[in-house]
Amino acid sequence: MRVFVTGSTGFIGANLVRLLLQQGYTVKTLVRPNSNLGNLHRLDVEIVQGDFHDQHLWRQMSGCRYLFHVAAQYSLWQKDRDSLYHNNVLGTCHVLDAAQKAGIERTVYTSSVAAIGVGASGVVVDETHQSPVDKLVGDYKKSKFLAEQEAIQAVAKGQDIVIVNPSTPIGPFDIKPTPTGDIILRFLRRQMPAYVNTGLNLIDVRDVAWGHLLALERGKIGDRYILGHQNLTLKQLLEQLADITGIPAPQTTVPNWLPLTVAWIDEKILAPLGKTPSVPLDGVRMAQQAMYYNPDKAIRELGLPQSPINSALKDAVDWFVANGYVN
């Protein structure tokens, strides 16, 4: 069974490709001309170069039975606003059009819990929740919401699409790294003297990969599935890292106004003067909201695995160390 995958060089995509190969699928993957191919090293995949907007993308998909559209632009910098909508919204529209033209039987579209939004004051939410788009913090979240709407509209026109909404994956092959991977790295480098009071839902990235495959096999057309596991405060996450590494966890909290002020000065005053900002304003705003989710639907309907978070954190630490990120 031949599948077409976008985003295979990234964190989730690299783990998904490995799972697909292990399960006997033949993988063809789209990569941008300047992509870092480190996550595909020595994998038996067919690589084609291009991007979401190629008018002949459907020809590359021809002969494939299924599509996993994992790729998206992730950025919390406000300067990237236009490219976020161009790649995530228009790009998704073009990819889904190409899939229909190529005769793809079923598509698994990788959305995000970012598109769902958050509950009030740390309330745990599920797939039935939807924050108003104007309440979603930052253009990344808004672009993922609008991209998901493109998938829903394609379903209404007859396309077979299942939507998955990963929470916060952790584990190996976090090549960029992700914001959570960056937290782990700063902890390992002893660059985190304090923390903010926030929370998030964590899941082993390999369980996220399984969630994609299970969505292909068992998901209902047009439904969304939260691929998540355990809700933890940032303090609890850091304490688990301390247990794994022996590095002391920070004990001091940072008041919300402090990073918000630093980020505002960075992006609004110093960036226009040519300084590279160090803290994204939208990232700080997001951290002020606990991002807690309920994955019961995916567990019940798909059989989503729930591997221990501590093991995933340990594997993330080991991967960063082995690949030279810490030193």
C-alpha distance from residue 246 to each of 158, 188, 190, 202, 241 (Å):
54, 10, 11, 21, 8
What string of pLDDT tens digits covers the 327 residues of the chain?
899 999 999 999 999 999 999 999 999 999 998 899 999 999 999 999 998 888 899 999 999 999 999 999 887 767 788 999 999 999 999 999 999 999 999 999 999 999 999 988 789 999 999 999 988 888 889 999 999 999 999 999 999 999 999 999 999 999 999 889 988 998 999 988 877 788 899 999 999 999 999 999 999 999 999 999 999 998 999 999 999 999 999 887 765 644 555 544 555 555 565 665 566 655 555 666 788 999 999 999 999 999 999 999 999 999 999 999 998
Bond before 177 cis per omega within 30 degrees: yes
Amino acid at 17: V
292 and 233 Cβ atoms separated by less than 8 Å: no
pTM for the structure as a whole: 0.92
CA distance 98 to 94: 6
Domain boundaries, the chain: 2-172+202-231+291-307
CATH code 3.40.50.300 for 2-172+202-231+291-307: no
Please compute Rg for the chain using Cα positions.
Answer: 19
User: E strand or H helix at 5, and its extent?
Assistant: strand 2-6
The two structure tokens encoding residue 97: 């059009």
65 and 105 Cβ atoms separated by less than 8 Å: yes
